[in-house]
């Protein structure tokens, strides 16, 4: 006696659907300018890191990313897929996040004229790639938050240290390097605002830019999140640099205290 045939029909084989080819997105002139700027930043930062660090993968990745941005700027088209040998990179959520991180980095390290152009580009990008626009928009929003808090800091410091003339306390917009400066008595202290992750490479960049530890002015780094791991260790090795974590307006007292603690010539005003 033979067993009866299984009445359950065989499940049809499932094949992954073929990917529909799409045309590359044509980008405008402003977007091409930003792409070229990011390309040059990636190439320059990667080349600088080659001589400053013992890690090869990071600098090489920065230079590769810079080359991609330069190609996009020259062609005027945003590719949907990039292929390197057998490796393929698509315009995925992850790639949009990487682009957003690069735009946020360019925004936070650029001067005020560059920031305006980047924000305009990010606004246009938000309609087609909202994931890529999120990080730079958060950086801009955080800068606006801290800028408003610095107005309150200025009022409090002038109330606490009532001086006039050349010694009066001023907090003014930066010169393209720092976001703001605290100025009094002919001396100044840079105030930098950072919403993105604070890395050891970024701290080394600041140390070289401001020649910290070589008898120059101190610097206060205002961040949305506290540095961790290697970055935190690196921060502790730069005596002239201080960091304060400011998440929202409730941290105003911490910001005032940090500025007073970093402001090394404050005692001169207290003696007057």
* pLDDT tens digits along 66-104: 777 787 777 776 665 655 556 555 556 677 788 888 888
pLDDT at position 267: 53
Is the per-residue pLDDT at 175 higher than 60?
yes
Of 138, 157, 186, which closes a domain?
A: 138
Scanning the structure block, which residue is given the tokens 């990071």? 58
> Is 100 part of any domain?
yes
Q: How far apart are CA 188 and CA 48, in angstroms?
A: 28
Q: How far apart are CA 139 and CA 103, in angstroms?
A: 10
- Please tell me whether residues 237 and 212 are part of one structural domain: yes
- Please tell me whether residues 123 and 74 are part of one structural domain: yes
Mean pLDDT, residues 192-202 taken together: 87
Q: How far apart are CA 79 and CA 73, in angstroms?
A: 11
- Please tell me whether residues 174 and 61 are part of one structural domain: no
- Please tell me whether residues 97 and 74 are part of one structural domain: yes
> Is 234 part of any domain?
yes
pLDDT at position 11: 47
Where residue 59 falls among pLDDT bands split at 50, 70, 90? low
- Identify whether the C-beta of residue 92 lies closer than 8 Å to the C-beta of residue 127: no
> Is 103 part of any domain?
yes
> Is 150 part of any domain?
yes
Which range, 30-34, 142-146, 260-264, has the best average confidence (pLDDT)?
142-146
> Is 1 part of any domain?
no
- Please tell me whether residues 175 and 254 are part of one structural domain: yes
Share of the chain above pLDDT 90, in %: 16
- Please tell me whether residues 134 and 149 are part of one structural domain: no
> Is 7 part of any domain?
no
Mean pLDDT, residues 109-120 taken together: 80
- Please tell me whether residues 162 and 252 are part of one structural domain: yes
> Is 2 part of any domain?
no
- Please tell me whether residues 78 and 129 are part of one structural domain: yes
Q: For position 261, which CATH number holds? A: 3.40.1350.10
What DSSP letter does each residue of the chain carry, written as one string? Answer: -PPPPP-SPPPPPP-PPPPPP-PPEE--HHHHHHHHHHHHHHHHHHHHHHHH-S-SHHHHHHHHHHHHHHHHHHHTEE-SEEEETTEEEES-HHHHHHHHHHHHHHHHHS-HHHHHHHHHHHHHHHHH-HHHHHHHHHHHHHHHHHHHHHHHHHHHHHHHS---GGG--EEEE-SSSSSEEEEETTEEEEEEEE-S---HHHHHHHHHHHTTTTT---EEEEESS---THHHHHHHT-TTEEEEE--SGGGHHHHHHHHHHH-TTHHHHHH-
Counted domains in the chain: 2
- Identify whether the C-beta of residue 192 lies closer than 8 Å to the C-beta of residue 206: yes
pLDDT at position 56: 58
The β-bridge relationship of strands 81-84 and 87-90 is antiparallel
- Identify whether the C-beta of residue 238 lies closer than 8 Å to the C-beta of residue 212: yes
- Please tell me whether residues 249 and 149 are part of one structural domain: yes
The β-bridge relationship of strands 187-194 and 219-223 is parallel
Could you tell me the pTM of the whole model?
0.64
> Is 129 part of any domain?
yes
Mean pLDDT, residues 3-22 taken together: 46
Of 106, 138, 170, which closes a domain?
A: 138
Q: How far apart are CA 168 and CA 53, in angstroms?
A: 42
pLDDT at position 119: 86
Share of the chain above pLDDT 70, in %: 69
- Please tell me whether residues 101 and 189 are part of one structural domain: no
Of 138, 170, 203, which closes a domain?
A: 138
- Please tell me whether residues 36 and 109 are part of one structural domain: yes
- Identify whether the C-beta of residue 184 lies closer than 8 Å to the C-beta of residue 167: yes
Residue 265 lies in domain: 142-271
pLDDT: is 225 or 176 the higher one?
225
Mean pLDDT, residues 24-36 taken together: 72
- Please tell me whether residues 101 and 167 are part of one structural domain: no
């Amino acid at each position: 006696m033979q067993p009866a045939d299984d009445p359950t029909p065989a499940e049809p084989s499932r094949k992954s659907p073929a990917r529909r080819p799409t045309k590359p997105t044509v980008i405008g002139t402003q977007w091409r300018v930003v792409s070229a700027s990011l390309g040059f930043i990636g190439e320059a930062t990667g080349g600088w890191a080659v001589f400053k660090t013992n890690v090869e993968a990071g600098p090489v990745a920065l230079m590769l990313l810079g080359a991609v941005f330069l190609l996009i700027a020259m062609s005027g088209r945003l590719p949907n897929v990039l292929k390197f040998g057998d490796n393929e990179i698509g315009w995925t959520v992850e790639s949009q996040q990487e682009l957003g991180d690069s735009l946020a980095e360019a925004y936070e390290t650029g001067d005020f004229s560059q920031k305006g152009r980047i924000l305009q580009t990010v606004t246009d990008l938000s309609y087609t790639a909202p994931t890529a626009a999120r990080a730079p928009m958060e950086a801009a929003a955080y800068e606006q938050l801290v800028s408003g808090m610095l107005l309150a800091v200025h009022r409090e410091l002038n109330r606490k240290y009532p001086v006039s003339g050349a010694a009066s306390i001023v907090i003014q917009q930066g010169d393209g390097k720092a976001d703001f400066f605290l100025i009094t008595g002919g001396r100044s202290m840079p105030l930098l605002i950072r919403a993105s992750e604070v890395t050891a490479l970024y701290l080394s960049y600041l140390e070289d830019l401001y020649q910290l530890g070589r008898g120059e002015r101190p610097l206060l780094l205002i961040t949305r999140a506290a540095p961790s791991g290697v970055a935190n260790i690196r921060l502790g090795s730069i005596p002239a640099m201080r960091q304060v974590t400011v998440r929202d307006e409730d941290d105003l007292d911490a910001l005032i205290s940090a500025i007073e603690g970093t402001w090394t010539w404050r005692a001169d005003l207290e003696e007057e």
